[in-house]
Structure 1
Amino acid sequence: MIAPVALAQDLLRCNSVTPADGGAQGVLIQALEGLGFTVTRLRFGEIENFFAERPGQGAHLCFAGHTDVVPPGEGWAHDPFAATEQDGIIYGRGAVDMKGGIAAFVSAASQVPGHVSLLITGDEEGEAKDGTVKVLEWMAEHGKIPDFCVVGEPTCRGRVGDVVKVGRRGSMNARISVPGRQGHAAYPHLADNAVHKLIPLLNELIGKKLDEGTPFFEPSSLQITSVDVGNPATNVIPALATAKLNIRFNDLHSGASLTAYLREALTRHAPDATLEVSISGEAFLTQPGKEIGALTGAIERVTGVTPEQNTGGGTSDARFISRYCPVAEFGLVGATMHKVDEAVPVADLRQLTEVYKALIMAFCA
């Protein structure tokens, strides 16, 4: 048996600020190979990833996680890479996001049989271009796509078991550039004010309610994040005005449908404007079924809590996994993630391990 606390501390002592690995994946690989897992290292660009699998009877359950962490920042009371334990709490960057979750799953797999695998990346906190998305392509090519995947992100709000993420909103960024003709503010008839064309467009966009939400998703939200004309003078009509938008959208929309909506609005207000769009993820939802039932059932048996199923928060690597198989997210309490003195109670690590054990026994049986 591998103890979750000891493994979590070994991982936390690795300085794996994205995109560096700091030896974290080596720690995991050594532990997994000792449990009979076959490990395939998958390096893409400068990013270290791996896929580990232990065959067994029953359905194939995959755990997805990341060993990279965000920079610790200043002001820690404990060394962010010392894994200090004090009064039953372990401090360290990545304690909940998400080295603690990884340690809990490996510990669970060391205690019960089942067909389980791990998709581990070092590129979740970075650009997410050479991590999970490419490992999934490799898995598909080699027939390794699981029946269900659990991403060990810190989903819980107040106690282990209170929230399961069954989907995520989509996210897109847009940049609108409206051209005009520069001129003197005293002679507006000789110029074409780009700002005056941009403002009615933005008023329409922020005034329109995209939808009312769905049973699992809150209403979609369009936020203007920047408006700029680059004009240092007070008496010059600007020749160019730009605006940046971010849209968080539910499964009533897609990146393509929202792009079309923006283009149609531009056509009416500023037909000579240009639109640049970047879609970081589409909305997805894993419908209630045997997969979600196995996870929520395991949580209820171990914690006595019936978890809320929601789709809140930002994006995660689950957005890539959803293209291949049913996926949900469940992990530790995320109150300290990305904060100074990020920490996990030892009791939470042990309880999460028991939930993952119950899930493996239920789903892989």
Structure 2
Amino acid sequence: MSHSATVELARELVRRRSETPDDAGCQTLLSQRLAAIGFTCEQINFHDVTNLWATRGREHHQTAKPLVVFAGHTDVVPTGPLAQWSMPPFDGAIKDGMLHGRGAADMKGSIACFVTACERFVEIHNNHSGGDHNGAIGLLITSDEEGVAKWGTQAVIAELDARKVKIDMCIVGEPTSSETFGDTVKVGRRGSINGKLIIRGKQGHIAYPHLAVNPLHTALPALADLVSRKWEQDEDRNEDQDENKRNQFFPPTGFQLSNINGGTGASNVIPGEIRIDFNFRYSPQTTDIKLKQQFEAILCQHHLDFEIQWGMPGYPYQTKPGALVDAVVASITEVTGRTPTRSTAGGTSDGRFIAPSGAQVVEFGPINATIHQINEQVSTTDLDLLSACYENILTRLLAP
């Protein structure tokens, strides 16, 4: 059975075992397709991470306006137990209208849609209309989104900034649809910051607690305060005022404990310290600096002996209504007949590295129900619809 160009390209990408940070030749394949339609393709690699920066426009991409970029990643998470997959995760098998395999939804399917949308758009506006499109098109593809994300999109954006290349609008192909294709787009993301907390006590025999200090016990009141705190509530405002002030596109800042570890392995020993992993997911209404200050103040109020190691924050962003949001929403409605919900829910994405440059950023992709799971899959029909949406977005933003 023959399939569309989009589905066939997605299958080719899925067949490459590109576990983070190994690109496994995906970007070489993409470069070949893009170069054939006039893109200039460049590898901007750092350490063991492969990054593709491809651009096309009537003028040099540094001056053509607007520069509209598709951003995504070719790397995938590990498969988990192979025996639990109903079909091999790197075969690119299609059954009952579903493309199966690791990365099919997150996000090799979207990348295939980027390319085929560009192919059709360029053909129409370079050949049929007798002239090229306005502005410039870019693709920023990395092999380090699922990993530490240090030498991927973040590093490429720094390099582009040094070259004075400014992205005006960016569509990130993360799988954003929830129940039905096109039902949700992401117009922002919460920030994220991890931390490792050590609370010290004094080790001793459990039968002589007066000669020891149990950090499990001394930590509990502080942990209760941390879990129950309203992190965006100013001391001089009441709860109703804060609710009215809060950004309605974002849920309140949340704090979660993810691991508590202590003890020596013996049941009759009071531990000398405990180690706690935690995470903040926060809205633009606060900052990582303010959260750190509030967090440490609570620990000090409880007179704890502590040490904190803070991770690198992923900053929140929000794209307000404007040219990009309007184009994405209108394109989805035209192609699918649905008006998508604008959301900021979910985890982090590489959009957090692109938005601080001043770019408008919207995330839009296929249904996310099976991402990172055994038997990841995506509808082939949805891939064709997604490619049509991306082409429609380009038409709205760049057609002469």
TM range (shorter): over 0.9
Asked if the contact 2:256–2:278 (Cα under 8 Å) also holds between the matched residues in 1, the reply is yes
- The one-letter amino acid paired with 1:328 is V
1:123 aligns with 2:130: no
The residue number in structure 1 matching 2:160 is 139
Stretch of structure 1 that moved more, 350-359 or 182-191? 182-191
Q: Tell me, in whole angstroms, the C-alpha distance in 2 between the residues paired with 1:210 and 1:157.
A: 28
TM (normalized to structure 2)? 0.87
Asked if the contact 1:60–1:364 (Cα under 8 Å) also holds between the matched residues in 2, the reply is no
- Deviations 1:107-160 (CA, angstroms, capped at 9, x unpaired): 111111442110000001111111000111121122332210010011001222
Q: 2:38 aligns with which of 21, 36, 39?
A: 36
Q: 2:377 aligns with which of 343, 349, 353?
A: 343
1:59 aligns with 2:62: no
Q: 1:26 aligns with which of 25, 28, 37?
A: 28
Change over 3 Å in CA distance of 1:233–1:79 after alignment to 2: closer
Asked if the contact 1:298–1:358 (Cα under 8 Å) also holds between the matched residues in 2, the reply is yes
Q: 1:68 aligns with which of 70, 75, 82?
A: 75
The residue number in structure 2 matching 1:304 is 337
Asked if the contact 2:43–2:52 (Cα under 8 Å) also holds between the matched residues in 1, the reply is yes
- Percent identity over the alignment? 41
Q: Tell me, in whole angstroms, the C-alpha distance in 1 between the residues paired with 2:98 and 2:208.
A: 68
Displacement after TM superposition at 1:340 (Å): 2.0
Stretch of structure 1 that moved more, 115-124 or 196-205? 196-205
Q: Tell me, in whole angstroms, the C-alpha distance in 1 between the residues paired with 2:99 and 2:200.
A: 55
Q: 2:319 aligns with which of 278, 282, 286?
A: 286
Q: Tell me, in whole angstroms, the C-alpha distance in 2 between the residues paired with 1:90 and 1:244.
A: 37
Asked if the contact 1:58–1:364 (Cα under 8 Å) also holds between the matched residues in 2, the reply is no
- 1:233-244 aligned within 5 A: 233-244=266-277
Asked if the contact 1:95–1:342 (Cα under 8 Å) also holds between the matched residues in 2, the reply is yes
The residue number in structure 1 matching 2:113 is 104
Secondary structure of the residue aligned to 1:120 is strand
- Deviations 1:287-311 (CA, angstroms, capped at 9, x unpaired): 1112211111111111111110011
Q: Tell me, in whole angstroms, the C-alpha distance in 2 between the residues paired with 1:16 and 1:235.
A: 48
Secondary structure of the residue aligned to 1:52 is strand
TM (normalized to structure 1)? 0.95
Structure 1, unaligned runs of 5 or more: none
Change over 3 Å in CA distance of 1:183–1:88 after alignment to 2: closer
Change over 3 Å in CA distance of 1:11–1:209 after alignment to 2: same
Q: Tell me, in whole angstroms, the C-alpha distance in 1 between the residues paired with 2:372 and 2:207.
A: 51
Q: Tell me, in whole angstroms, the C-alpha distance in 1 between the residues paired with 2:97 and 2:334.
A: 24
Runs of 4+ in structure 1 displaced over 4 angstroms?
none
The residue number in structure 1 matching 2:247 is 214
The residue number in structure 2 matching 1:318 is 351
Change over 3 Å in CA distance of 1:237–1:86 after alignment to 2: closer
The residue number in structure 2 matching 1:258 is 291
Number of residue pairs aligned between Structure 1 and Structure 2: 364
Asked if the contact 1:255–1:279 (Cα under 8 Å) also holds between the matched residues in 2, the reply is no
Q: Tell me, in whole angstroms, the C-alpha distance in 1 between the residues paired with 2:264 and 2:159.
A: 49
CA RMSD of aligned residues (A): 1.7
